[in-house]
Each structure stands twice: as C-alpha cells, then as structure tokens.
Amino acid sequence: MIAVILLVGVIYSVPNFFPSEPAVQLSSKVDKTIDPATMQRFEQALQAKGLTIRASENNGQQALFRFEDTDVQLKASEALKAAVGDEFIVALNLAPSTPGWLRSLNANPMFLGLDLRGGVHFLMEVDMKAALDKQIDRYEDEFRDFLREKDIKYLGIAREGDTVLAKFRDAASRDAAQAALSDEYRDNLQFTVPQGSTDLQASISQVAMLNIQKFALQQNITTLRKRVNELGVSEPVIQQQGTNRIVVQLPGVQDTARAKEILGATATLEFRLVDETNDAAQAQQSGRAPIGSQIYKERSGSPILLKRQVMLTGDYIIDASSGFDDNNRPAVHITLDGKGASRFSKVTGENQKKLMGVVFIETKIESKEIDGKQVKTSSTTQEVINVARIQEQLGKRFQITGLDSPKEARDLALLLRAGALAAPVYIVEERTVGPSMGKENIEKGFNSNLWGFIAVVLFMVIYYRVFGMISSVALAINGFFLFALLSMIQATLTLPGLAGIALTLGMAIDANVLINERIREELRAGASPQVAINVGYDRAWGTIIDSNLTTLIAGIALFLLGSGPIKGFAVVLCLGILTSMFSAVTVSRAMVNLVYGYKPHLQKIEI
C-alpha cells in the first residue's frame, strides 16, 4: 500500500519540478479554428520583429508560443496584438514544460500566485450608495407603470432623497395605491403617509437594503470575472473581501493602465427617440428642455433633444462584437435577450420613420487626495454616439455605428458583452509584481525549504542515528505527498503557501522525535529492542494525534475565517498535517520493520 501511494505521490509531484516557460497564448473570439495557415501568419509576425520562438503548439482552438525569457515574451505579445487585431485574444502565459506522458495522466503542476508569477493586484471598493440610488430610481419608474396598469390616478411620482414620493388628488386614491403597492413590494419597501397629506412615501427596508448591497457585490464580481476572461488572463483571482471590497489579481499582466481601463469602467447604452418637434439649439440657449425631453450632445458638440422615455437599455444585451458596417466604418453588432428583443421590436415597430438616438453612458470613479484626505469623485459621460432613422422593425440583432475608431468599438463591445457593473467601483490599492521578482521569490522560497530540510536531516541523523535516517526518509516522502495533493487539487501556491510547506516540514519531524524518545525510554527501562520499538510506536500515537488535531483545528479556523493569502497558508498547513501523520507513523514504522523486523533476537539498535 505504501509503495503504491508513494508511486502516485512521486508521479503527481514531479511536474512541479519542471520550470514553467514564458509563453504567449492566442485564442479565437468567435470559436474560429486555428489552421496551419493561421499559425504560419502568427509565426511570420514574430519573425518580422526578429523574435525567436522556442516552441509552438496548436490544438485547433488555441495557439501557444514559448520563448526563452519574459523580455522576448512581452515583445512577442505586442507584435501579435498588432498583427491579429480584434480577431484573437492575446494573453501572456507561463506554459508548463511537463513531459507529455505525465500530462496524459493529468499530472499537472500547481498554479502559481501573483507573488510568485508576477502581475497586477487591485483592491476595488464598490460604491454601495450608487447601488442604492440606482435601485431607488428603478422603483420610481416601476411605480408609474404599475399604477397605470392598476388604473390608479396619481398627480406625480418623484424621488426625494432616499425615498420615492407619490402624490395623489385624494386620500381614496392614495389608500388604493398603498394597498396595491404594499402587496407588490411587501418584501422590499416600507410605505408611510406624511401627516396631514394625501401623499405616499416609500423607503427601502433594512433587509432589502442589505440584499441590494449583497447583490451589487456579487454582480460586480461576476461582471469583473467576465471582463478578465475577455482580457485573456489565465488563472485570475477575483474574490470578495469584507462587505464592499473585491480583490482582483491578474497573474502575468503588466499593462496596469489597460487593466484599470477595462475593470473600472461602468458603461451601458440607452436607446431613445429624438424630439423632432422642438429646436435643440434654442433649448440649449435657454437652458430649459421641453417637457418630456432632455438635452444631450452629439460627438460633434451639437445639441440634440431626446425623449426622456427610454426605449431600451443595455441590461438586455447578451452579446456584442466589434466589426465594420457596409461603409467600412467601426460598428458594434448587438444581440438582445428574448425580453429585450420583444420590447425593442414593439417600440421600433410603433415608431418607424422616426429618428432614434443611441446614448453611451460611462461612469468612472476616482480616488483623489484633497487636504490629506482620500475623496471619491464620480464623473459620468453621456454622449449621443449615433442618430439614425428607424427604417424597419428591429429585432434580436442589429448594429450601432458612430464610433471614432476600431479600438473604441472593441472596448465598447467588450464592456457590453461582459455586462454592466451593478454599481461603480474604484481602486483603493494597486500593486505590480514583476516577473523577475516572482522568480526571485520562488528561488528564495525553494532555498529556504531546502536548507530547512537539510538542517533537520543533519540533526536527526546525528542525534538518532539509524532511526534518524529513517525519520529523514519519511520526511522526504511527506514532502512528495504534500506536493502531490496540492497538484491534484490544482491549488494556487503563494509565498504564504511556501511558508506553510516550510512549517509543515519542521513540524512533521515532531512525531518522529516523540516516537524515538519513547523507544529510548523503553530501552532504558530494560525492554528488549523489539518490544521497545512496538511499545514506542503504540504509546506515542495518542500524543501525536492530540498535538496534530489541535493544530488542524487552528488551520481549519484560518481557512474558514481568513481570506486570500491566509487561506492559502491554511490549505497547505491542513494538508501537511494529514500527510505528516501518515508518513511519520505508518511509513516510518514500515521502514523500521523492514530494517529490524526479520531479527527476532535483536540485542541492540542504533537510536
């Protein structure tokens, strides 16, 4: 049994000793097969820049080019991005050099964290107030539609602070509205009547407020994950921290400006009818828009009046891709979901031959230091990027134009495809780890573990002789078991994880020290060597269980309550405790039996 487990442990731990190679990975955005002609085009683009390819792979869906060092890798990435344009996703990668026969057994190395591989780290905070504001605005619009459906007359509905105020002509209409709205929104809203008034005030309940914040956080995590996938980053880390923050780690990414631009942008579209009956220039000059309309600006700077009623928002968009229209102008091709397609088909069918404007809305939040304090500033850009006459009823698929460049079309398509953020986010912390620093961390971590192991082995061999040698072999086997388990579960190894390995190796020898000391006590009490070995292992087992169990409980607590690096440390610690108990007791006892078990009349042992 031990031999089989050891063989499995060696097979699954060995891939970690093959160094990863800097590589650039290309994958198609539209599931296009990468044929030999396409691969040749990639290779020619690299050769034209004088870059040497160490090796290349192509499985039809992804192409991978390996290089000698990270400098060549970064140059190759830029060359390929310029050559392939918007057709393929180009991503930096560290490709394992594991032999094919090991990969066929699904024996792969552990993932490396940001501190070992290099990349960028962002700590992002969700603007929870904006999430609540967005929900209140939605309730304001829903109240109007709901009361119309119920045929309840009202004078007006408007937002006042964090509440929605509905005005009625008389108390009877107000009471009817309160009964209907309370039944519809009983789980989310609280309704009150201001004293001596026929108005109805709605505010979000405390439970609903917590749910809105929780949803905003989870929705932003999902959206950020989609955007990171669009960037083509392999092995990203996107996780919640606290109640309103998100940690984003992008291994292998060095272009922080590009990452920040994509991750932090809140972009969506609104489709509105153009107000063709009023003069936009006159409205701008007077500073007052006609009732039911709003003043916007086109990209040329000219004013335009759009109806306040929104025909469609970007929430219904399920896919978007950049391309060109029939006149070779940059365009974004949009696909709607079923509900959005039905709604858009209806409103465009009812408004044929009328002008429709496409409003691009982008919100960015930045943190600036003013008078020694960090102050959040929000800037929202609303711009009409396209005005066109509705020639026919539009359905599930259509395109928008009016974009300045193919890059803007690509970025807009990416943001729309990934979905809008539920609430704006801003970066409160940013760190960059270079590939060379990650390599240095790996070397230092490996050397610390190696020298720690050598020191333990020297002590054990000098102090316990043959039994010390057996304990050292069991300790080495424990290391193989630990690496194998971490590789099997595809854990992400970080610097705290390396610290956990060093701690595990140091603690694992404690069990053998207890066993060896117990055997010495039995020998001093006059027991024969065979009896001393048997009693030493049996009586030390209880103490070993107790000491390791308490440490295991602490490790589980760290995993459940900690986050990020603490979880990584806890995983290594807990797995190390399990493997060390097996190797220190079962494996070492089997080796002792192998050495001394066939000598029933043994008179002396080296311990």
Question: How high is the pLDDT of residue 393?
Answer: 82
Question: How high is the pLDDT of residue 254?
Answer: 58
Q: Give the C-alpha separation, 436 to 94, whole Å.
A: 13
Residue 115 parent element (H or E): helix 114-117
Query: Which CATH number goes with the domain that contains 376?
Result: 3.30.1360.200
**Any domain includes 225:** no
Question: How high is the pLDDT of residue 62?
Answer: 81
Question: How high is the pLDDT of residue 234?
Answer: 55
Pair (45, 167) in one structural domain:
no
Question: How high is the pLDDT of residue 575?
Answer: 92
Pair (292, 428) in one structural domain:
yes
Q: Higher-confidence residue: 378 or 475?
A: 475
pLDDT digits (tens, 9 = 90+) for 469-505: 999 999 999 988 998 998 888 877 888 888 888 888 8
pLDDT at position 375 over 70 = no
Measured in degrees and rounded to the nearest 5, phi and psi for residue 408 equal -65, -35
pLDDT digits (tens, 9 = 90+) for 14-34: 888 887 788 888 877 655 678
The whole-number average pLDDT for the span 578-600 is 87
Query: Which CATH number goes with the domain that contains 547?
Result: 1.20.1640.10
**Any domain includes 361:** yes
Pair (202, 152) in one structural domain:
yes
Pair (52, 72) in one structural domain:
yes
Pair (416, 440) in one structural domain:
no
Q: Give the C-alpha separation, 90 to 106, whole Å.
A: 26
Question: How high is the pLDDT of residue 473?
Answer: 92
Pair (499, 401) in one structural domain:
no
pLDDT at position 363 over 70 = no
Q: Give 348's contacts (C-beta < 8 A, 6+ positions apart).
A: 311, 356, 390, 392, 393, 394
Pair (403, 455) in one structural domain:
no
Pair (420, 438) in one structural domain:
no
pLDDT digits (tens, 9 = 90+) for 126-160: 888 888 887 888 788 788 878 888 888 888 888 88
pLDDT digits (tens, 9 = 90+) for 199-210: 999 999 888 888
* Edge-to-edge strand ranges of the sheet holding 397-400: 317-324, 330-336, 397-400
Pair (305, 288) in one structural domain:
yes
pLDDT at position 452 over 90 = no
The whole-number average pLDDT for the span 296-314 is 84
**Any domain includes 3:** no
Measured in degrees and rounded to the nearest 5, phi and psi for residue 273 equal -75, 145
Query: Which CATH number goes with the domain that contains 57?
Result: 3.30.70.260
The whole-number average pLDDT for the span 284-304 is 86
Measured in degrees and rounded to the nearest 5, phi and psi for residue 328 equal 65, 30
Which pair of structure tokens corresponds to residue 578? 């399990």
Q: Give the C-alpha separation, 592 to 146, whole Å.
A: 81
pLDDT at position 67 over 60 = yes
pLDDT at position 70 over 80 = no
Question: How high is the pLDDT of residue 553?
Answer: 93
Q: Which of 258, 267, 265, 262 is nearest to 383 (CA)?
A: 267
Examine the fold and report which residue of 367, 397, 432 is the final residue of a domain before the chain moves on.
Answer: 432
Examine the fold and report which residue of 208, 230, 250 is the final residue of a domain before the chain moves on.
Answer: 208
Q: Higher-confidence residue: 419 or 87?
A: 87
Looking at residue 137, its amino acid is D
Could you tell me whether strands 62-66 and 21-28 are parallel, antiparallel, or unpaired per DSSP bridges? antiparallel
Residue 347 parent element (H or E): helix 338-350
Question: How high is the pLDDT of residue 287?
Answer: 83
Q: Which of 59-63, 93-97, 569-573 has the highest mean pLDDT?
A: 569-573
pLDDT at position 162 over 60 = yes
Pair (419, 280) in one structural domain:
yes
Question: How high is the pLDDT of residue 496?
Answer: 85
Domain that holds residue 82: 21-95
pLDDT band at 213 (very low <50, low <70, confident <90, very high): confident
Q: Which of 132, 22, 164 is nearest to 422 (CA)?
A: 132
**Any domain includes 114:** no
**Any domain includes 16:** no
Q: Higher-confidence residue: 164 or 258?
A: 164
Measured in degrees and rounded to the nearest 5, phi and psi for residue 284 equal -65, -40
Question: Average pLDDT, whole number, for the chain?
Answer: 82
Q: Give 592's contacts (C-beta < 8 A, 6+ positions apart).
A: 467, 470, 533
pLDDT band at 252 (very low <50, low <70, confident <90, very high): low
How many domains is the chain built from?
4
**Any domain includes 40:** yes
| Reported pTM | 0.57
The whole-number average pLDDT for the span 258-263 is 67
Question: How high is the pLDDT of residue 390?
Answer: 83
The whole-number average pLDDT for the span 529-541 is 88
Q: Which of 436, 114, 122 is nearest to 258 (CA)?
A: 122
**Any domain includes 249:** no
CA dist 447 → 113, 499, 507, 560 (Å):
18, 12, 18, 30
Question: How high is the pLDDT of residue 556?
Answer: 92
The whole-number average pLDDT for the span 428-434 is 76
Q: What is the CA radius of gyration of the chain?
A: 33
Pair (475, 523) in one structural domain:
yes
**Any domain includes 180:** yes
Lowest mean pLDDT among 267-276, 300-309, 359-368, 451-460: 359-368
pLDDT digits (tens, 9 = 90+) for 381-408: 788 877 878 877 887 888 877 677 776 6
Quick one: how far is CA 218 from the chain centroid? 11
Examine the fold and report which residue of 181, 208, 235 is the final residue of a domain before the chain moves on.
Answer: 208
Which pair of structure tokens corresponds to residue 43? 């290779």
Question: How high is the pLDDT of residue 438?
Answer: 66
Measured in degrees and rounded to the nearest 5, phi and psi for residue 477 equal -65, -35
pLDDT digits (tens, 9 = 90+) for 184-197: 888 888 999 888 88
Pair (269, 379) in one structural domain:
yes
Which pair of structure tokens corresponds to residue 180? 């209907």
Question: How high is the pLDDT of residue 232?
Answer: 58
Query: Which CATH number goes with the domain that contains 150?
Result: 3.30.70
Looking at residue 522, its amino acid is E
Question: How high is the pLDDT of residue 415?
Answer: 62
Q: Higher-confidence residue: 370 or 589?
A: 589
